[in-house]
Amino acid sequence: MLVANRGEIARRVFRTCRDLGIGTVAVYSDPDAGSPHRAEADRAVRLPGAAPADTYLRADLLIAAARASGADAVHPGYGFLSEDAGFARAVLDAGLTWIGPPPAAIDAMGSKIAAKELMAAAGVPVLQLDDVTEADLPVLVKASAGGGGRGMRIVRALADLPGELATARAEAASAFGDPTVFVEPYVEAGRHVEVQVLADAHGTVWSLGERECSLQRRHQKVVEETPSPFVDDDLRARLSAAAVTAARAIDYVGAGTVEFLVRSDGAFFFLETNTRLQVEHPVTECVTGLDLVAWQLRIAAGERLPAEPPVPSGHAVEVRLYAEDPAHDWRPVSGPVHAFDVPGTPFAVPPGPGTRVDAGVVAGSAVSTHYDPMLAKVVAWAPTRTEAAARLAAALAGARLHGPTTNRDLLVRTLRHPAFLAGETDTAFFDRHGLDVLAAPLATDDDRAVAPLAAALALAAARRRDAAVLGGLPSGWRNVPSQLQRTAFDTGEVAYRLARDGLQGHEGVDLVSATPDEVVLTVRGVERRFAVAAYGDDVRVDGDGWSVALRLLPRFPDPSATVAAGSLVAPMPGSVVAVHVAPGDRVTAGQRLLVLEAMKMQHPVTAPADGVVTSVDVAVGDQVEAGAVLTVLEGDPA
């Protein structure tokens, strides 16, 4: 079987195929040449190029890869062409087995606009909006052909609608190849609740319960769980009945998800049907004990579902671990993954207390700017919701994540937040509780104060390990006291002396031992261990449930690395898709200057203050690296 996808979902499908004795074929783009999913497949076929439009969105190349590799079935995963009826038909026309719903069902739900009309006719409640007026605000612009937050914008002022429509169309065209968008009423603090359905070709349709996916950033889900803390037995029955009605209305076959928006009063409205496996399917697997991928394969082979689905047990919570910086407007981050060690069992399906890790990366992988920045999904199952959240928070806090900045600290703080534990998880959660609180580092002020010292001692130990003579003595040791040993990080300078009577220069801190990998200190009478790893000038210190990233500064800075005063630099690698200013233009604080596209999303670069544009150093179509100068502003003398 060929998996027409990449990363975590390709690895997930391969795992089930290995269990069932099915051979696997991977496809990979040039940036994914070193991806784990390529290495784990029995066979692999290169898709030349980098952009999705040239690789994973090319149906002709995917079918050619299946034929060349000897595959007789195609699994689309999620995203890319997974909900493209044309691709499904092309797979079937090529004589291959399609692991998904019939093309007609995909067609029926492929356009969110047409899908709403169909669901309304079937008696499923929907949100509708034809002409936008002031009274309708706020509204939500959505891409008709896709999801995942691409092509989606909240509009709170009529004057902003044309610009947001244009941006949404551009994102939708880039991500899905279809610029069609529509507008619907925006429910400020609703809940995003979806129902997993599974249907065979013989008329049996299962509802496998609901998943709550309300905690989102940029309309992409961050935390998912089942069962929902908001849904009672009556609402669950009504949601399940509506989901089964929706599936039967389009003669659905296979695994799919019917998504609803639920108001605080319990009223719910159809949003869309995802005619594929969902990213968050592991939580349903954990509470039901089902392998949904295995059932996709069985249904495609013509098997029947039992008359009744299994009864769910316990509670499962999943978080999406992203390479991004939540404190800076969820900015995506790329680069090498030096270490990736999250406690848990990879891709485990049977329910049982513990954690499951579905990862798309391993140590040595690279996060590309061409694709979504999700590193992994981490899932915890336990008899109760409180225990599941505690297990998951502890696993994340104890993970070794070295490389790009991640949202790990935000996830841990969210899982431990009193409002989350109380089930107050509507779509306004992050706005209500504030990123300044939720995205704050897990490391305390005391942790951040002692971490540079631990790093300096570990680096010194590494230097002494490689010393040609007297390697057993600590770095900087003098028989007669001399100047302090100094190490400079981006957080400041660390100064200390190792003398006959121990560590000097840090009151209340004593050195127990120091190796290149671990430093043990006694801090105000309490022994503490610090794991240290260095990757060039990138130094990581992991403590007991926290991590600190430090940058080692050179003794002699490179003058060419400095930029002119007033320079606005690229916050991430990406391509320039729009430039809105020219030299000599006067701009105001917050004004959009240009737009970068990275990881399938568009990111505006705005003026930090009033000023005059003195130079524009990029043009539309340019590829820029993080830190590249985009434009230079001069302070407005007025």
pLDDT in the model for residue 138:
86
pLDDT in the model for residue 622:
92
| CA atoms of 8 and 23, how far apart (whole Å) | 18
Residue by residue, DSSP assigns 308-369 as SPPPP-SEEEEEEEESEEGGGTTEE--EE--EEE-SSEET--S--SEEEEEES--TT-EE-T
| Counted domains in the chain | 5
513 and 610 co-located in one domain = no
267 and 249 co-located in one domain = yes
pLDDT tens digits for 528-550? Answer: 999 999 999 999 999 999 999 99
pLDDT in the model for residue 593:
93
**Cβ density class 523-557: b for 16+ within 10 Å, e for less:** beeeebebebbbeeebbbbbbeebbbbbebeeeee
Task: Assess if residue 193 is contained within a domain.
Answer: no
When mean pLDDT is compared across 6-20, 81-95, 480-494, the lowest value belongs to 480-494
600 touches 373 (CB < 8 A): no
pLDDT in the model for residue 383:
95
Q: What is the CATH number of the domain that holds 276?
A: 3.30.470.20
When mean pLDDT is compared across 124-128, 319-323, 391-395, 560-564, the lowest value belongs to 560-564
pLDDT in the model for residue 472:
67
Task: Assess if residue 524 is contained within a domain.
Answer: yes
What percentage of the chain reaches a pLDDT higher than 70?
95
Task: Assess if residue 355 is contained within a domain.
Answer: yes
- At residue 147 the predicted structure's pLDDT band, cuts being 50, 70 and 90, is low
Q: Which H or E run contains 88?
A: helix 85-93
**Range 296-320 average pLDDT:** 97
**Sequence-distant (≥ 6) Cβ neighbours of residue 319 within 8 angstroms:** 222, 223, 224, 377, 378, 392, 396, 411, 414, 415
Q: Which H or E run contains 19?
A: helix 7-20
pLDDT in the model for residue 469:
72
Distances (CA, A) of 528 to 395, 461, 534, 547: 20, 18, 20, 14
pLDDT at 145 over 90: no
**Range 506-523 average pLDDT:** 95
Greater model confidence, 102 or 130: 102
| CA atoms of 1 and 98, how far apart (whole Å) | 10
Task: Assess if residue 118 is contained within a domain.
Answer: no
pLDDT tens digits for 595-604? Answer: 988 876 788 8
325 and 408 co-located in one domain = yes
| CA atoms of 52 and 58, how far apart (whole Å) | 8
- At residue 479 the predicted structure's pLDDT band, cuts being 50, 70 and 90, is low
15 and 92 co-located in one domain = yes
pLDDT in the model for residue 471:
66
pLDDT in the model for residue 411:
98
348 and 382 co-located in one domain = yes
Range of the structural domain that residue 585 is part of: 560-635
Decide which of 516, 551, 586 is a domain's last residue.
551
pLDDT in the model for residue 136:
79
145 and 77 co-located in one domain = no
pLDDT in the model for residue 318:
98
pLDDT at 618 over 80: yes
| CA atoms of 134 and 160, how far apart (whole Å) | 12
**Range 169-179 average pLDDT:** 80
Q: What is the CATH number of the domain that holds 620?
A: 2.40.50.100
Name the range with the highest mean pLDDT among 169-178, 314-323, 344-353: 314-323
pLDDT at 638 over 60: no
**Range 284-288 average pLDDT:** 96
pLDDT in the model for residue 394:
97
Q: What is the CATH number of the domain that holds 28?
A: 3.40.50.20
pLDDT in the model for residue 392:
98
pLDDT at 245 over 80: yes
Tell me how many degrees the CA angle 132-137-143 measures, rounded to the nearest 5.
Answer: 65
When mean pLDDT is compared across 128-137, 555-564, 623-632, the lowest value belongs to 555-564
308 and 346 co-located in one domain = yes
- At residue 379 the predicted structure's pLDDT band, cuts being 50, 70 and 90, is very high
Amino acid identity for residue 39 in this structure: A
Positive or negative, the CA dihedral 455, 456, 461, 467 is positive
Q: What is the CATH number of the domain that holds 137?
A: 3.30.1490.20
pLDDT tens digits for 51-93? Answer: 999 999 999 999 999 999 999 999 999 999 999 999 999 999 9
61 and 147 co-located in one domain = no
- At residue 146 the predicted structure's pLDDT band, cuts being 50, 70 and 90, is low
pLDDT at 473 over 70: no
Task: Assess if residue 110 is contained within a domain.
Answer: no
pLDDT in the model for residue 475:
65
327 and 455 co-located in one domain = no
Residue with tokens 């997930």: 12
When mean pLDDT is compared across 132-146, 283-297, 545-559, 578-592, the lowest value belongs to 132-146
The residues with which 425 forms a beta bridge, in sequence order, are: none
Task: Assess if residue 413 is contained within a domain.
Answer: yes
pLDDT in the model for residue 108:
92
40 and 63 co-located in one domain = yes
pLDDT tens digits for 390-428? Answer: 999 999 999 999 999 999 999 999 999 999 999 999 999
Tell me how many degrees the CA angle 571-7-328 measures, rounded to the nearest 5.
Answer: 20
Task: Assess if residue 121 is contained within a domain.
Answer: no
313 touches 226 (CB < 8 A): no
Q: Is the pTM of this model over 0.75?
A: yes
pLDDT in the model for residue 343:
94
Greater model confidence, 218 or 437: 437
SS3 41: coil
pLDDT in the model for residue 565:
81
462 and 495 co-located in one domain = yes
pLDDT tens digits for 486-501? Answer: 999 999 999 998 887 8
**Range 178-193 average pLDDT:** 85
SS3 534: strand
Task: Assess if residue 397 is contained within a domain.
Answer: yes
| CA atoms of 142 and 150, how far apart (whole Å) | 8
Greater model confidence, 317 or 125: 317
pLDDT in the model for residue 632:
93
Q: Which H or E run contains 135?
A: none
135 and 83 co-located in one domain = no
**Sequence-distant (≥ 6) Cβ neighbours of residue 137 within 8 angstroms:** 155, 156, 157, 158
